[in-house]
Structure 1
Amino acid sequence: MKTKKIAGNITGFITVFFWGITYISTKVLLEVFNPVEILFTRFLMGLTFLVFLYPKPLKIKDKKQEIYFALAGITGVTSFYLLENIALTYTMASNVGVISALAPFFTGIVGYIFMKNKEKLTRNFFIGFILALIGVGLISFNGAIAFKINPVGDLLAVTSVIIWGMYGNLTRKLGSYGYNTIQVTRRTFIYGIIFMLPALKFFDFNIQVSDLLKGKYLFNMLFLGLGASAICFVTWNYTVKVLGAVKASLFIYLIPIITVITSCIFLKERLTWMLSLGIIFAILGLAISNKKEKL
């Protein structure tokens, strides 16, 4: 069990490391593609890769389990990413960045209220959450002239985070069925893509293959499709399976830190005292949230 927990922590860190640098790739792709074109293409690539990697079909033991696969697809793949991308068109990225730090909190609350296998929400969980939220706030608001509340965008961002909390708990439920993690991820992707289809026409999906085949765009799309989608969803599902939905979600606190560091390296952005302080608070919050309380 101890070895599994170590492995779960390693896969959790690898996952958020990749997710932390997806913003750089997405920023490059947004030069020629709209958010839905990027979203659909990356998950279609991810699904294709997973089928190639592990082609064995998944045989469902109980037809009722299919409902949970469908719910995981519409929450973690379709709804979360669509709402987050749409929110960014209405409100500032700094707002969305801070709101995204609520993911561990909502994961814990959703699991505590709705899931039968309840994970205990300890005092350290809430203390760590507050410290991490302060850290993410410092990171997100660094350099911002003013914090502006936009009801539509901020509400969409909050909704997307609540949905991610649902997905985290659904992932743990799927992990309890004993299926291969790749098969579970692949099934989730299939449902996510199916539920995404109606949005393609609504958001004017018209991707140009000639643009996609250009060097930097192809590289970044492959990174999002194969790395951030296919591989990362497999490693994330494994992390949730081993550590639980709440413990796994705490790694999300690291995403803004990784984004800041990689932005300084690749985008030549400046590392300020506020960013440094935010990183310290976020790491401290993660450490405290993971610390066991003495009885």
Structure 2
Amino acid sequence: MQLFPIEAGNFKLDGGAMFGVVPKSLWTRTNPADQNNMIDIAARCLLIENGNRLTLIDTGMGNKQDEKFFGYYYQWGDFNLESSLKNKGFHPNDVTDVFLTHLHFDHCGGAIQWNKDRTGYEPTFKNANYWSNKDHWKWATEPNRREVASFLKENILPIQESGQLKFIEQPSSDFAKANEMDFGILFVDGHTDKQMLPHINYKGKTLVFMADLLPTAGHLPLPFVMGYDTRPLLTLPEKEKFLKQAADNNYYLFLEHDAHNPIITVKNTDKGVRLDKTLSFNEFIN
């Protein structure tokens, strides 16, 4: 098995929205804001090469939205999904599986692209199975008013229309069986219903793709919960339970949205679970 970080594009989000009720004087210690109160955010995906299977976890927001849409997110840097795949020696047609932690636009937008004449949409990865779960799919296709702006139909419905959509059943993982991988999935509901967090066994180490349960290292303290979460009072115990397990079992946490800290480990302290080490991706795989 080989792992590759795929940088699908950096952007910025409002720091207050990213930290909810936490005062700015506290969260800016770890996530400094610019003059517009915006903080650096990554869309760091994970590519897994395992035998003849090539699996991409999440896809970033893609490039099919209009200029007005992207104007809200202050994109920065030179990263994009296709060039990052190419840099690792792969083409979108090589991908056999796309695992979507959830269907918010910044996690699944890159899964669908314009067709050649821009009259409709098509899967970016034409040879891939797209994996979600039935409960989250229903949640995303019949969205509540709080999340309707995050679940964009053009990102979601073409997956089903293509015939490439597959559902993972709880608690067993059809995905893991199909890909012959030691691949566990934690389902969490605080951020959005039935978000899926992959646990990958790599050379005896457990790497957890954190998606939006822990967007950045600055979100480690329990009250530091995003304003975007639909059930923040559920995020708290989900996060507490997971971080305790991560500290006790020396999990490596792959941070999808932290632009400056790709992988971290955590430890138990008198103040709760806190940051232990920050690692580059190369440090982790070596």
TM over 0.5: no
TM-score tier by shorter-chain length is: under 0.3
Structure number with the higher strand fraction is 2
The one of the two structures with greater contact order (alpha-carbon pairs below 8 A, sep at least 6) is 1
TM-score, scaled relative to structure 1: 0.27
Rg bigger for which structure? 1
TM-score, scaled relative to structure 2: 0.27
